[in-house]
Structures are given as structure tokens and as C-alpha cells.
Amino acid sequence: MSTIAKAIANKEDLLRIFPTEIRLMIFKELMTVDKDIYRGARSFGPLDSNEYDLVEGGAEVPWQILFTCQQYHDEAIPYMYSENTLIFCTGPAGSPGMFRKFPVKRKYMKYLRDVGIYFRADAPAGKGSQRVGHFINALTLRAKNLNELFVMAASDRYFERVCPWDIVDGGHPVAKALENMVLARAVKFLTIRVHDGAKFYKDWGYYMAQTFWENGGQDEDRNIAFQRSCSCPPLIYPECPVCLMPTLLRAVKPVVFWVGPDGIEANEEETMNMQADLFELGILPGYDDDDEEKGLEQGLKQDYTPIEDEEEEARKAFSSTIFAPEQKLKYRGVIKAPQVWKFRQTGIKEYMKPVEDDAYL
């Protein structure tokens, strides 16, 4: 009786009979799926049905094999992370969601190749923003084989309107983490996407494109791209306020639109509108125009003069530089140079006393 027949008769584990190379091929085929794997998409917020169907859900990996034994776990888990596209989402109303802890343990980040991060655009101090930025920094340090990263900032301005801070500025944790990743050349293909009206601060897209180009972006195997998308708000609008598609064509519209760096940036009007909303909600300290005019009038009546800058006065005498004709420093004394500069050749014996040979013994 053959070995396989004996194992079947005794109800033994057949995988242990195969050589390691064959078993790894089986695990690779088992752990690879042909769809993107979403984690936390149901609670994230509106997504286009062509991208993620709430009824059918996303793809699932047969993870049960990972809990059979430690050997199978160690052999199969690298393929789960390296052969699939994993998309992690924040929770509702800007909560951390899947980023409450790292969605991938640090020791497994070295296997990651294609990763997506969907986050709700919120205040820089929000927990969701902080956790997402921390995770991107961890990928920069540990995901040495990262091939593609696509980051999507989403707004809820046309839905529940819980997160009014839907323009991500340069000081946002996510924006800073992406900048650090580009400077470290930690990713080959970077895609930045805005969803449902979210935007990044003005000129930030061009800055990222230029920074990526200056840090090896001219290589053929590296690229940065920008996208815009929307889930089309409810049918109360005759046309989508984001993609401007008529209501009758929403079912056939593409999931994403490819744009240039300026396609993800907010203009001055959008920035001012967001600031007005933040002032109205009390998130930013507001002021009244009348109060500002009154303060200006009082300042004029008091003959207000600005505080003098004493930096130049406190500078040392011999540290001056080139100034404009009307600028003049008040030194304590007249700067004079010696008439003759004298230089003298010195010898090492002036600083070190000679030691006789017998003194070394």
C-alpha cells in the first residue's frame, strides 16, 4: 500500500506527506483571491456599488488553514499578505475603525506589497487621522517590499456631515506621513485619491508630484498618480455635485476619474467655505468684523507703534553682513583692522615637550 493510501486509511494529514515546495504552491493557490480584500468597508461610509457591494461584500480569504498548526500558519501567511490587495478603512464619523490597532502586525509588514487605505478626512488631532498617519509611517519603516499604495480621503459633506474638516492640509498626520514615505522612496507606485468632495490643501498635489519626481520618480518602475471619485449623493440632486454626472447615468459612470495634481486640491473658495463652517461650529476661534474694525480704530487713537526689533543691536560687532544703504549698525567702537597682518611659523615643540628615548621605558 502506498504512503498516500495509508494516510487516507488512517485519516492522517495529507499535506505533511508532500514536499515543502509542493505544499507552498498549494498554500499560494489557496490564499490568493482575485478581488480586493476590504476590511471595515461596511462601516466606513458610502462607496460606489461598482467598487464595493454592500450586499455581496468583499472577497474573503480561507483563513481557517492558519489555525490548524504553527507550521502551516508560518508557511501560508506570507502569501496572504503578499499575493492580495488589502484595503483597510477607518470607522464611521472619523473613528479609527480598523486602525484602532495596526491592521497588520509589524512582523508581517515585510510581506505587504499592495495596500489601500481609506480614511475619513477629519481634524488633524482626530484619533482616526492620528492612527492612519502612524500606520503609514510604520509602512515606511517596515514594508520593504511595498509595491503599490493607494490612499483615499473621503468626505461626508453630502451625507451625515459629522466631519466638517474635509480639506487635508500639509500639517495633517496623513499628509506628513505620505511626504515622509515619498522622501524615503518606500513605495514604487503611489496613488492619492479624493472621494465625495474631500480635497487636499492648495499646491499640495504639485508638491507631492515634484517631491516624488526628485526622489527617483523618473525611474520607469516608479510612478505617482491622482484620482477623483464619488458615490453620488442621494437623488435629491439633479446631477451629482462632485462628478457632475446626470442622475440617469450614475449606474454606468466609472469608479474613478484620473486627474492631475490640481484635481485633488481645494481652491480658495472651497477653503474659505470650510473655514466659515469651522468658525460657525466653534471648532476654530471666530471673530466679528465689527470688533476687528473697532480694535483697529482704538489702535490708531493710541498712536500704536510696533515693537522695535533689537536683534541687530544685540549682534556682536564683528558679525555684520551686507546691509542696504539706509541700514546702519551702532557699534560700541570703531571697527579697525591692523595695518600689517603678521603670521609666524610655529613648530610642534612649542606645544609639546620633547621626551627622551629613555623616558618611554
Give the strand pairing for 223-229 and 256-259: antiparallel
Alpha helices in the chain (DSSP H): 3-9, 20-31, 41-44, 70-82, 127-142, 173-184, 204-212, 268-280, 289-301, 311-314
**Cell reading at 297:** 480704530
* Locus of grid cell 437623488: 235
Entry pTM: 0.74
Q: Which of 49-53, 99-103, 189-193 has the highest mean pLDDT?
A: 189-193
| pLDDT over 60 at 292, yes or no | no
Whole-number pLDDT of residue 209: 93
| pLDDT over 80 at 313, yes or no | no
Whole-number pLDDT of residue 295: 46
Instruction: Give the lowest-confidence range in 19-33, 177-191, 219-233.
Output: 219-233
| pLDDT over 50 at 299, yes or no | no
Domain layout of the chain by residue ranges: 10-266
Range 21-32 average pLDDT = 92
Whole-number pLDDT of residue 307: 42
Calculate the average pLDDT of the chain: 80
